[in-house]
Amino acid sequence: MVSSSTTENLVVIGSGPAGYTAALYAARANLAPLLITGFQEGGIPGGQLMTTTHVENFPGFPQGILGPELMDRMKAQAVRWGTRLLDADADQLDLSQRPFTIQAQGQTQRTHAVILATGARANRLHLPQEERFWSRGISACAVCDGATPQFRHEPLAVVGGGDSACEEAHALTKYGSHVHLVVRRHKLRASKAMADRVLANDQITIHWEHEVVALQGDDWLAAVELRHHLDGSTTTLPVRGLFYAIGHTPNTGLVQGQLPLDGEGYLVPQQPGQPDTVIPGVFWAGDVADRRWRQAVTAAATGCQAALAAEAWLTEQNLAVTVSRKTPEPESAPTPQKMSPATEETYSPTALWQQGSYALRRLYHESMEPLVVMYTAPGCGPCHVLKPQLRRVVEELAPQIHAVEINIEAEPHIAQQAGVSGTPTIQVFHDKELRCQWRGVKQRRMIRTELEKVLSPDHQQR
């Protein structure tokens, strides 16, 4: 285990709106915070918004913004002001001694203060094909996604019988042509007032004692199969949207046994509504302690509170070692580069990263080097996470390798030919042969290992 010799002022754990906002405020206070983004535990870096399509309720974006783009912007803003990122999961946190220690990716980080912003993950049913239809008809947030054009005037379904399910079913009647509420028991868990509201709404049909057992559709959800709990009979319900409201699981494994948690695992603040925990120097932000509001904007707000509280505590304890800036204004955040598909005129046989089927065809047939093909889709959060990591590895291995990105929405026939069923998918070709492929996000060192295998002489001779 490698141990860092310095002790951080503040480590923020988690990279959703709560974590990035906390880091932004701490960075602007010259605390140079370290933010551990999280990787696999409890979701992907960027949090729940990375798997959301349009966010239309975050103030400041009158036309709405894609969840992954909003997270890219928050990240860029936090980094611009001096946040340092560690792309890893925090595996262990020891709050029993000071400075606190955090194990992440084989390294020990020591820190005077910690902000826990590890979030919560919406529970899923884990149905067959769930991944395929996630954000393509299935959502865990009706408030965020209900108004999506694909759901307008279409039949929709909500699973669950609690307050969230009832609230969501009620809210969705504004958008859908009809709402089906699928409840596994013979009664609702929701509060009486909420239940009465749903029962009185003739735009909502309750399917008592039913569960969703299968999903149908092509590129978007078209129907769900319901099974009756008692007699086992099945029915097909045509719906374009399926909203999960079956509770959340907070990501509090790191502090189990160290901080008080409630019956469902949510962290219990020292005082309701305050960012402090029972251990001085340990603060919370976002869904990790918020069982009720769970909105991006409320997470960001508590991130701000936690950072201000941490700054005050570090100052009071005389622990803060602030950094000084060379200039009062930091450099501008880099503007995301929009790349266009390569054409006959713009194609380059030596470019490391290009886009589109023209470049793919040329490199596949003409290049002697291994070719990495990344299949992406606009709004695909995991693609946003994977792409910079993959790009960096390709740059490190240059000039022995090339990469091409295919937007499967713009060029579906290419994805179909390649047998790609979802994004991100990576395929690595050499000598016109598929040498390796994977689906989903991988850490940079794992990507490098995969690509180095293809580059190794043994592999190349095959």
Return residues touching ligand NDP (CB under 6 A). Answer: 125, 159-165, 167, 184-185, 189, 211, 245-247, 291-292
Cβ proximity to ligand NDP: between 145 and 167 the closer is 167
- What element of type H or E holds 10? strand 2-13
- List C-alpha distances in Å: 48 to 17, 25, 105, 120: 9, 21, 22, 8
Q: Which of 141, 144, 166, 383 is catalytic?
A: 383
In sequence order, which ranges of 320-443 are alpha helices (DSSP H)?
Answer: 357-366, 381-397, 412-417
Closest contact distance (angstroms) between CB of 226 and ligand NDP is 11
- State the minimum distance, in angstroms, from the CB of residue 57 to ligand NDP: 15
Query: Is 166 a residue of the active site?
Result: no
CA distances from 284 to 42, 89, 111, 112, 304 (A): 16, 17, 15, 15, 10
CA 433 from centre of chain: 33
- Smallest Cα–Cα separation from 287: which of 39, 2, 49? 49
In angstroms, the CA 398 to CA 450 distance is 15
Give residues with Cβ within 8 angstroms of 438, minimum separation 6: 425, 426, 450
Q: 207 or 402, CB closer to ligand NDP?
A: 207
Q: Which amino acid is at 382?
A: P
- When the beta carbons of 99 and 286 are compared against ligand NDP, the nearer one is 286
Please say if 436 is a catalytic residue: no
3-class secondary structure for 81-145?
CCCEEECCCEEEEECCCCCEEEEECCEEEEEEEEEECCCEEECCCCCCCHHHHECCCEECCHHHH
CB of 245 to ligand NDP, least distance (A): 6
Q: What is the smallest separation between the CB atom of 290 and ligand NDP, expressed in angstroms? A: 10
- Min separation Cβ 166 and ligand NDP, Å: 8
In the 3-class helix/strand/coil scheme, how is 273-323 assigned residue by residue? CCCECCCCCEEECHHHCCCCCCCHHHHHHHHHHHHHHHHHHHHHCCCCCCC
Instruction: State the catalytic residue, choosing from 141, 304, 380, 436.
Output: 380
Instruction: For the CB of residue 283, give the shortest distance to ligand NDP in the complex, in Å.
Output: 23
Q: What is the DSSP string of 165-193?
A: HHHHHHHHTTTSSEEEEE-SSSS--S-HH
> How far apart are CB 291 and ligand NDP at their closest, in Å?
5
CA angle 340, 341, 342 (to 5 degrees): 110
Under 8 Å between Cβ of 24 and 13: no
Tell me the closest approach of the beta carbon of residue 349 to ligand NDP, in angstroms.
53
Q: Which of residues 82 and 160 has its CB atom nearest to ligand NDP in the complex?
A: 160
Peptide bond into 424 cis (omega under 30): yes
Asked whether 282 and 113 are in contact (CB, 8 A), the reply is: yes
Residue closer to ligand NDP, measured from CB, 29 or 166:
166
Query: 287 vs 450, which CB is nearer to ligand NDP?
Result: 287
Token pair of 291, please? 């069982």
For ligand NDP, the closer CB: 215 or 372: 215
SS3 content of the chain, % helix, strand, coil (to 5): 30, 25, 45
Cβ proximity to ligand NDP: between 113 and 194 the closer is 194
Give residue number: closest CB to ligand NDP: 162
Task: Please identify every residue annotated as catalytic.
Answer: 380, 383
